């Protein structure tokens, strides 16, 4: 696969300091956005109503938003669901004791006079604030458990310095991805959380490939400093990294452009995650391991006690 784009000899490790400042700046901006602006949680996390209605012909989403705003339902989120004739409406629970049936009647009462075709109520679902809070907590716990499992896996598979580098890269990727959603106030729901977990898996896979080549080269390359060996390893896996990332991005861009609004956030989170994850596997994970003082001795297999005695006839 490496021959598809030819041999490369880029000095990635030599640019680790500018990359470190870039990562620090991006993480700082992301953290400030999360702390100051906060996340724009969707109904899945805040609680509220989900109403699905069906039209006989293509629904005008912008017109539906205007109608609901005029009917004093300005916080409604409107998008197509599956087809151009099915519409999904999400809204926070209005003040007072309002039931789902009453709210659905209000929505239909506002929409029917503006449409020449029949509008059918498909379903009405309610997520309570307590359920939304539990989803936030369990979602955050899922991310932490994934990171902990990765630490254990890398520790046993490679070496503890590699586990620090991999987790630091993953935290870097997650913070920046979430920070983009906080900065631009893009709705954050369960599909975005699923995308964040997918980003962790994708970034880890890319990092493992680089780490595996680094370990192999530390054991086989007789000459060269740790920086030179790591640089050679990154270059040897560069073709695989670029090809994998580009083909993944092509699919995600197609989903983002043609998939409709309901999947835009999911695709956007993955697009950001793939780009940042590719960058971090080179400039964050690897350079962190180098900064921790990795050496050839760390990569050599540990001999079992008494191994020499077994060789004595």
Q: Domain 2-40+131-299 - what CATH class?
A: mainly alpha
Neighbouring CB atoms inside 10 A of 207's CB total 27
Q: Would you call 75 exposed, middle or buried from its count of C-beta atoms within 10 A (0-12, 13-18, 19+)? A: exposed
Confidence of residue 286 (pLDDT cuts 50, 70, 90): confident
Q: What share of the chain is helix, strand, coil (3-state, %, to 5)?
A: 70, 10, 20
Look at residue 222 and tell me whether its pLDDT is greater than 80: no
**Start-end ranges of CATH 1.20.1640.10 in the chain?**
2-40+131-299
* Residue 268 confidence (pLDDT): 93
* Residue 95 confidence (pLDDT): 64
Q: Which of 3.40.50.720, 3.30.70.3400, 3.40.50.970, 3.30.1330.100 would CATH assign to domain 48-127? A: 3.30.70.3400
CA–CA separation, 196 vs 139, rounded Å? Answer: 10
Look at residue 186 and tell me whether its pLDDT is greater than 90: no
CA–CA separation, 272 vs 269, rounded Å? Answer: 5
pLDDT in tens, 3-25: 555 566 788 888 889 999 999 99
What would the two tokens of residue 90 be? 């999400």
More confident residue, 90 or 158: 90
Q: What is the overall mean pLDDT for the chain?
A: 80
Best mean pLDDT range from 45-54, 152-161, 176-185, 187-196: 176-185
CA–CA separation, 177 vs 171, rounded Å? Answer: 10
Buried-state track 39-61, b at ≥16 Cβ within 10 A, e below 16: bebbbbbbbbbbbbbbbeeebee
Q: Find the range with the poorest average confidence among 128-142, 162-176, 237-251.
A: 128-142
Is 165 within 8 Å of 285 (Cβ atoms)? Answer: yes
> Could you identify the residue written with the tokens 């090809």?
243
Q: pLDDT above 90 covers what percent of the chain? A: 17
More confident residue, 150 or 169: 169
Confidence of residue 133 (pLDDT cuts 50, 70, 90): low
Quickly list DSSP for 189-243.
Answer: -HHHHHHHHHHHHHHHHHHHHHHHHHHHHHHH--SS-HHHHHHHHHHHTHHHHHH
> Could you identify the residue written with the tokens 């893009």?
186
* Residue 271 confidence (pLDDT): 94
Average pLDDT (67-85) is 76
**Start-end ranges of CATH 3.30.70.3400 in the chain?**
48-127
Average pLDDT (69-89) is 76
pTM listed for this prediction: 0.76
Look at residue 71 and tell me whether its pLDDT is greater than 70: yes
CA–CA separation, 128 vs 44, rounded Å? Answer: 9
Look at residue 142 and tell me whether its pLDDT is greater than 70: yes
* Residue 279 confidence (pLDDT): 92
Look at residue 146 and tell me whether its pLDDT is greater than 80: no
């Amino acid at each position: 696969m490496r021959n598809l784009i030819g041999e490369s000899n880029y000095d990635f490790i030599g640019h680790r300091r500018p990359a470190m400042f870039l990562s620090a700046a991006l993480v700082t901006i992301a953290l400030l956005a999360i702390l100051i602006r906060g996340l724009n949680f969707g109904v899945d996390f805040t609680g509220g109503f989900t109403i699905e209605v069906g039209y006989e012909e293509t629904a005008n989403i912008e017109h539906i938003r205007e109608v609901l705003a005029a009917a004093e339902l300005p916080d409604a989120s409107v998008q197509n669901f599956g087809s151009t004739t099915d519409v999904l409406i999400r809204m926070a629970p209005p003040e007072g004791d309002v039931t789902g049936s009453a709210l659905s009647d209000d929505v239909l009462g506002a929409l029917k006079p503006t449409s020449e075709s029949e509008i059918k109520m498909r379903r009405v679902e309610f997520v309570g604030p307590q359920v939304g809070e539990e989803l936030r907590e369990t979602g955050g716990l899922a991310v932490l458990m994934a990171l902990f499992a990765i630490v254990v896996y890398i520790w046993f598979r490679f070496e503890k310095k590699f586990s620090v580098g991999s987790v630091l890269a993953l935290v870097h990727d997650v913070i920046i991805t979430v920070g983009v959603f906080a900065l631009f106030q893009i709705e954050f729901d369960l599909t975005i959380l699923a995308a964040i977990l997918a980003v962790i898996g994708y970034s880890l896979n890319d990092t493992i490939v680089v780490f595996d080549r680094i370990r192999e080269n530390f054991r086989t390359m007789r000459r060269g400093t740790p920086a030179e060996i790591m640089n050679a390893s990154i270059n040897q896996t560069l073709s695989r990294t670029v090809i994998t990332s580009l083909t993944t991005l092509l699919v995600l861009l197609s989903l983002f452009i043609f998939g409709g609004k309901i999947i835009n956030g999911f695709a956007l989170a993955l697009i950001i995650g793939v780009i940042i994850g590719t960058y971090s596997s080179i400039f964050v994970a690897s350079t962190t391991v180098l900064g921790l003082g990795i050496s050839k001795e760390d990569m050599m297999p540990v001999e079992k006690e008494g191994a020499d005695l077994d060789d004595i006839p």
